[in-house]
């Protein structure tokens, strides 16, 4: 038997999260069973538990976690993997567990120089970031404004845009400005006076594109004063699509293509240090509810990572 975190209902994680015993999966011909070393916790998981994404009783109990890194426990004869291989699974299902079953086409070899915690927390945010950059077509000639530049998606957008040679201006809270400077971006504080702060930061250069990871009206309004709507790509501002901005979520064929193509390069970039994944906290079966509560509140910059204990 093996352990797995589930939600028995919708609501406060302390009330509905539970640890249950399940059978260790057996692989089919093209399947891989991975012994979990680390799994990324994302805001989507927390919103799912709290019922923000809907409260259909037929979906209960909920299995949680969409990205994982670990070691192959067993593999089907046609999977291309064997026991002992270090791998990353994305997209994964039911990753907050001791074992995960996945089809081989969702399994990727983990670079030796990339830690399990970092590998487990890279791809969901990473493929989203690359999708925004590819959709906008960012090059070294761009002056790019990034809203939410210190978040999980925004920090990868900043790193990849800087590596491409773009000039990057990024909004964040004051406590994250040093981090943005170290990443090669010009930081500005969001809130009152944002437009003026961006004007000062761009130093006479014309902003050519915007990537928004926060979705606030403030971010979109300021952006619309700088560029044409089609030069604003957002992952969050669904309420502003009538303004002509481009919102990406992985549902279009173009978006899916961008995300599929991003996986291997992202793993390589993280292994080389071109992208860094900061870990804010690790948690296990016993303190999962506490980690879920923290993630949607004020918390340190970085990812929350589940490690079976």
Give the whole-angstrom CA distance, residue 87 versus residue 90. Answer: 10
**Do 13 and 114 share a domain, yes or no?**
yes
pLDDT at 299 over 80: no
Instruction: Please identify, among 229, 247, 265, the residue that sits at the C-terminal boundary of a domain.
Output: 247
**Do 63 and 117 share a domain, yes or no?**
yes
Neighbours of 223 (CB within 10 A): 26
pLDDT at 305 over 90: yes
**Do 100 and 129 share a domain, yes or no?**
no
**Do 107 and 142 share a domain, yes or no?**
no
Closest CA to 24 of 98, 130, 131, 77: 98
pLDDT at 32 over 80: yes
Q: The domain that contains 61 carries what CATH number?
A: 3.90.180.10
Whether 38 is covered by a domain: the verdict is yes
Mean predicted lDDT score pLDDT of the chain: 96
Q: What is the pLDDT of residues 128-137, one digit of tens each?
A: 999 999 999 9
Give the whole-angstrom CA distance, residue 96 versus residue 4. Answer: 6
**Do 35 and 98 share a domain, yes or no?**
yes
Q: What is the pLDDT of residues 66-76, one digit of tens each?
A: 999 999 999 99
**Do 219 and 147 share a domain, yes or no?**
yes
Q: Let me know: does 64 contact 7? Beta carbons within 8 Å.
A: yes
Within 13 Å and on the Cβ side, how many CA atoms surround 251?
5
**Do 10 and 96 share a domain, yes or no?**
yes
Range(s) of the domain holding residue 103: 2-122+277-306
**Do 290 and 241 share a domain, yes or no?**
no
Instruction: Please identify, among 205, 226, 247, the residue that sits at the C-terminal boundary of a domain.
Output: 247
**Do 138 and 158 share a domain, yes or no?**
yes
Considering its fold, how many domains does the chain have in total?
Answer: 2
Question: Is the pTM value of this prediction over 0.85?
Answer: yes
**What is the structure's pLDDT at 71?**
98
Q: Tokens 């969001």 map to which residue?
A: 190
**What is the structure's pLDDT at 296?**
81
Give the whole-angstrom CA distance, residue 32 versus residue 47. Answer: 28
**What is the structure's pLDDT at 127?**
98
pLDDT at 202 over 80: yes
Q: What is the pLDDT of residues 130-188, one digit of tens each?
A: 999 999 999 999 999 999 999 999 999 999 999 999 999 999 999 999 999 999 999 99
3-state DSSP assignment of residue 164: coil
Give the whole-angstrom CA distance, residue 220 versus residue 223. Answer: 5
Cα-only R_g, the chain = 20
Non-local (6+) Cβ contacts of 286 within 8 A are 309
**Do 51 and 107 share a domain, yes or no?**
yes
Average pLDDT over residues 278-293: 96
**Do 136 and 57 share a domain, yes or no?**
no
* Helix boundaries (H) for 203-280: 217-224, 253-272
């Amino acid at each position: 038997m093996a352990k797995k975190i589930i939600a028995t209902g919708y609501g406060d994680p302390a009330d509905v999260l539970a640890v249950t015993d399940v059978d260790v999966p057996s692989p089919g011909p093209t399947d891989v069973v991975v012994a979990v070393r680390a799994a990324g916790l994302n805001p989507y998981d927390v919103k799912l538990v709290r019922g923000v994404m809907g409260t259909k009783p037929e979906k209960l109990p909920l299995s949680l976690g969409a990205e994982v890194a670990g070691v192959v426990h067993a593999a089907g004869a046609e999977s291309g993997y064997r026991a002992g291989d270090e791998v990353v699974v994305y997209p994964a299902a039911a990753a907050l567990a001791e074992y995960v079953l996945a089809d081989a086409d969702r399994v990727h070899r983990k670079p030796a120089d990339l830690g399990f915690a970092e590998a487990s927390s890279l791809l969901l945010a990473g493929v989203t970031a690359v999708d925004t950059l590819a959709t906008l077509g960012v090059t070294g000639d761009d002056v790019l404004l990034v809203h939410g530049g210190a978040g999980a998606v925004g920090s990868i957008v900043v790193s990849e845009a800087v590596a491409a040679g773009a000039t990057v201006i990024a909004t964040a809270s004051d406590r994250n400005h040093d981090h943005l400077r170290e990443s090669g971006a010009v930081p500005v504080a969001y809130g009152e006076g944002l437009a003026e702060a961006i004007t000062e930061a761009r130093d006479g250069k014309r902003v050519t594109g915007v990537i928004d990871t926060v979705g606030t009206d403030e971010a979109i309004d300021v952006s619309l004063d700088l560029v044409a709507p089609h030069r604003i790509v957002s992952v969050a501002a669904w309420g502003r699509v009538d303004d002509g901005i481009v919102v990406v979520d992985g549902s279009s064929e173009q978006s899916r293509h961008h995300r599929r193509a991003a996986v291997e390069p992202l793993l390589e970039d993280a292994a080389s240090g071109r992208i860094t994944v900061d870990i804010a906290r690790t948690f296990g079966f016993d303190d999962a509810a506490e980690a879920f509560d923290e993630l949607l509140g004020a918390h340190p910059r970085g990812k929350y990572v589940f490690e079976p204990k």
